[in-house]
Structure 1
Amino acid sequence: MYRPRKTEKSLLVGKTCSSGRTKLHEPTNNLPPKLTGERTLGKILSFSQQSTAVLLCPVVGYPFPKFKWYKFIEGTNRKQAVTLDERVKQVAGTLIIREAKVEDSGKYLCVVNNSVGGESVETVLTVTAPLKAKIEPPVQTVDFGRPAVFTCKFEGNPIKTISWLKDGNKLDHSDAVLRIEAVRKEDKGMYQCFVRNDQESAEATAELKLGGRFEPPQIRHAFDTETVQPGNSVFLKCIASGNPTPEITWELYGRKLSNNEVYQIGQYVTVNGDVVSHLNISSIRTNDGGLYRCVASSKVGTTEHSARINVYGLPVVRSMEKQAIVAGGTLIVHCPFAGHPVDSVVWERDGRLLPINRKQKVFPNGTLIIENVERASDQATYVCVAKNSQGYSARGSLEVQVMVLPRITPFGFEDSPVHSGQFVEVTCTVSEGDLPVQITWQLNGRDFDNFPEVTTTKVGKRTSVLSIESVSYANAGIYTCLARNRAGEAVFSAELQVNVPPRWILEPTDKAFAQGSDAVVECKADGFPKPVVTWKRATGVSPGDYRDFKPNNPDIKVEDGTLMINNIQKTNEGYYLCEANNGIGSGLSAVILISVQAPPQFEVKYRNQTAKRGDPAVLQCQAKGEKPIGILWNINNKRLEPKGDNRYTIREEILPDGVVSDLSIKRTERSDSAIFTCVATNAFGSDDTNINMIVQEAPEVPYGLKVLDKSGRSVQLSWVAPYDGNSPIKK
């Protein structure tokens, strides 16, 4: 009777075994680490914030080298090892930074060593992030004379420039901290901080208010109108308060007084902080009479008080200085008369008593007002006449000069926007205004001299011609003509728009990404109008025809010229076209190759292979992936060493998409019935495939024959089943 012997089935039979260990194919000769492609020393990479940054270190060598990544400490030549964690990982020589942060920006160094040499690769990583800015504090109240500090806090990367504006005017300051050592009245207002790079800008606003401790000047005590006899002494006093402490000055009919043989002026500050100022006239004369004024002023304001000091005597009119006024303004004149009593004060012009029209107003106290002054009708000599009841009179003349502001004839750039390279000319003519007149030009609020291709020519006394021989995008902007004379200034502005064909800010180049990472490729152009940037993909494996991306694909999107592919795979590999067009010229285009660097991959993970004992056999494995790919063979999880058994021979062939390795066995033996594992490794990872090798042969002779029972003509036998030769025993 046949009784099979107990056998144990291999746990690996019929199952796939995947090795998690990385092993490299061993070449016959030692190889020091060397770059596998073009040297990338000093390579600059840019990734957006929160994307996956992939830093390659394409170096091979034998024995398999060790890779170590370092990051330089900013501003120094010192470096420190990169700390690996859940976010920052190293796969072979590739450093993968997930959810990249601005702080990850910097210069990295990959150091590669083995027993026969070393190599290093330097890479500069820039993690870009949208710019944001804020000023702290957003509002601050500061007392006069105290310091004020604004800090412009910003986020984003990279930051190219920092600038400040005060009430819309540019400040000569480029630091993040703006400090005012001693606040003055003119420092109050709105402050703006701008942070910029080549692609965008951000702005923040803050306000500086004057502190609550300041107090505008206030007159607490003042002198009254009084009438005195000639020769008497007169004492006038004004007391003023305020913070900061005001200063008091004295005037007579608008003329500032100072210490002399007639006037003695003194001033002091009380313990309470009030300012006391006095004006003494020891022996007053008739012509010293008039309208006296004390003026209290500080950085926060001005206040004044006026009163007449009348001195008995015949009427007197002081001499009056020539007065200039701008056309369109209002003339206000006080007749500087003295004497007492004075019954009437009138104004005359050309012997006629004023007013002679509705613009003129004359008041009993000797004040003359002329509204909306014009040169033709109001420039003249005016006479003030003061009379008393006895018929005595005094006269004083005032020459009024009316100045005319410049007036610029409106102008503009014809056919704006213009094309780059055209000749452009514009004329600024001052149609009205007193001579001499100075004419200057500004571009975007700034004076310019020797600006490229721009010339200004004075034609006659009232005209300036601005010309641009060959206009370019740099010439675009707001051009302002400024005309100045003694009366003041006039301005007129016109915008010049220049059509400029697209030009590259950031031209895309061939990129390689690790499989599974987030790919980001920037394509940026400027011009006028602003170019529209689009991306397309080649329809085949070579550049030529291109098609738009499929709509509603969540893994591929284009934002502001940047192509983003989430979780990039080999299927995304190919040629891509970036185009920038704005309707001016033929536009720009760039074709790039996006490569996906993937670990090796076996299409078949497990298979059986049979051979007759004594016959030759060839075990083959084919791995696809980025080259170079190293192959090694294991037998039952132990390294197979061809040198230790001349029956084995390994041959490799490089294919366009990978490598194929043949393990040849000259003469199979029973020990070759095993699991052969082919392991493929490149710089991005490894994969393996298992071949269950079955060596078949004739079964062995049964053994352990025993007679179990014999009775009559029958015998019951048992034996131990022999080795079946890896094929079923049929009989």
Structure 2
Amino acid sequence: ATNTKKETRFQWFFQKRETPDGQYDPETGVGTLCIEELSKEDKGIYRATVSDDRGEDDTILDLTGEALDAIFTELGRIGALSATPLKIQGTEEGIRIFSKVKYFDIEYMKTTWFHKEKRLESGDRIRAGTTLDEIWLHILDPKDSDKGKYTLEIAAGKDTRELSADLSGQAFDDALAEHQRLKALAIIEKNRAKVVRGLPDVATIMEDKTLCLTCVISGDPTPEISWLKNDQPVTFLDRYRMEVRGSEVTITIERVSSEDSGRYGVFVKNKYGSETGQVTISVFKHGEEAKVLEKRVQAEVPPVV
């Protein structure tokens, strides 16, 4: 805008509605409206106006039809040019080959993957996809037959770009080793002994009552189970009982007394790992405030490092 003065007002409009996102610099006379991550929702008529006591002037941009297509095509070209060299990465499921991009639009950018010059299609072991900033190929359960040259072809308008990576030799061996390592860790995490849910942080109960605590465990093979009281093994005799039904473990303490107060833990273990779920049991006497005793019991429980 030129021939402005201090009182001149600059406004941006989109579809006849004023938008507060625009900026205006009175020093340079430049008005700017930035649209981040342009999408079809931004299609429409844009209008910039300047006005003061002398009158009003405006300029209009029709961002529809061919004008919008031209912008998206150019963004696609820029996105294709921004693609980084292909990288190879071992994953829990297999081997990933990918390129990072600054922009990707599935309508204006087309991608094709090739293995040894043969076009690849998504199937049981091959998955291809994109995000706003990445183009990727995932090879599941990799085999020796997956070795070789991989090429990514990115088409944007009339422009085409190709990127290649050689998945053989040390590159294949390293990716396969990382895949096997991550897969083994996933198996351990999936199958290791865990206390899944059930135990509260604190269980408060009046003396002479029966306390039942149930938790759910998981693990394959089935975990060994033991209970601890203040870090010492619990002996299941007389008033103490433990019952295991499938994945549910229940400890029952009959006719609880103040001596039963303390920090309890259920310890589960199998060949893949172990875990402890903890609960503090607070037993209060008839007529005694439960909250007061709860604080006292917690204070008496020795700290654990």
TM range (shorter): 0.3 to 0.5
| Larger Rg belongs to | 1
Normalised to the residue count of structure 2, the TM-score between the two structures is 0.38
With a CA cutoff of 8 Å and minimum separation of 6, indicate the structure with the bigger relative contact order: 2
Higher relative strand content = 1
Higher helix share: 2
TM-score for both structures, normalised by structure 1: 0.17
